[in-house]
Amino acid sequence: MGAAVGFNKAQQNDERRPSDTVRPINSSDDCGPDEDALASHTRSPLSGCGSSPSKALSSTPAPGSTEARLLALEQQFERQCAEIRSLQEALVDVKRDGRRIVTVLQYNILASYLGANTLPWFLYGADITSEERKAVFAKYNQRDASGKPVNSWPTYAEGILTPAQIQEVTKQDAHFHWSTRKVR
């Protein structure tokens, strides 16, 4: 038979190799293991990766035997090593890309011809229903034979909004004028 595999319970549970310890993360400027912590370990956690399965096994082991279990564990270890290598390569990419600074700015600029409270998509001050807004849009979008708008403010709102609502919309329109906007 092949070589016997033995585990020392004290060694398995109490003694920890340097490669089994959790390495601190240096969060100051970098993600990943602290370089000083890495330098203190002489043995890489993956130093056994890539080695061939147990050379003690010269033939196919019997199913259910210790040798079969050892071979299965070694194969699982190799698969995990490959996955770890892949994750390490991805981490290198993340670390490289993570140093780029991206700034996202948002400008809320409303063109002067679109920035009027008297346009149907605003109408602040008039508490209107969605049906009333649809009717205002319908009158606003009416065109003559040449494609020019038939109605202007307040004509497209008359008959749909009350005179008090039209007056309030016109009053609120003062907040949309360029002269009252703040420079930011």
pLDDT tens, position by position, 68-97: 999 999 999 999 999 999 999 888 888 877
Q: How confident is the model at residue 30 (pLDDT cuts 50, 70, 90)?
A: very low
Rounded CA gap, 37 and 32, in Å?
11
pLDDT: is 143 or 55 the higher one? Answer: 143
Predicted TM-score of the model (pTM): 0.40
Q: For the residues of 33-90, what is the DSSP string, one character each? A: B-HHHHHT-SS-TTTTTTPPSPTT--SPPPTTSHHHHHHHHHHHHHHHHHHHHHHHHH
Q: Quick one: what percent of the chain has pLDDT higher than 70? A: 61
- What is residue 102's predicted lDDT score, i.e. its pLDDT? 73
Q: Provide the token pair at 128.
A: 């209107």
In Å, what is the CA distance from 74 to each residue of 38, 64, 114, 167? 25, 15, 69, 82
- What is residue 178's predicted lDDT score, i.e. its pLDDT? 74
Closest CA to 73 of 49, 50, 53: 53
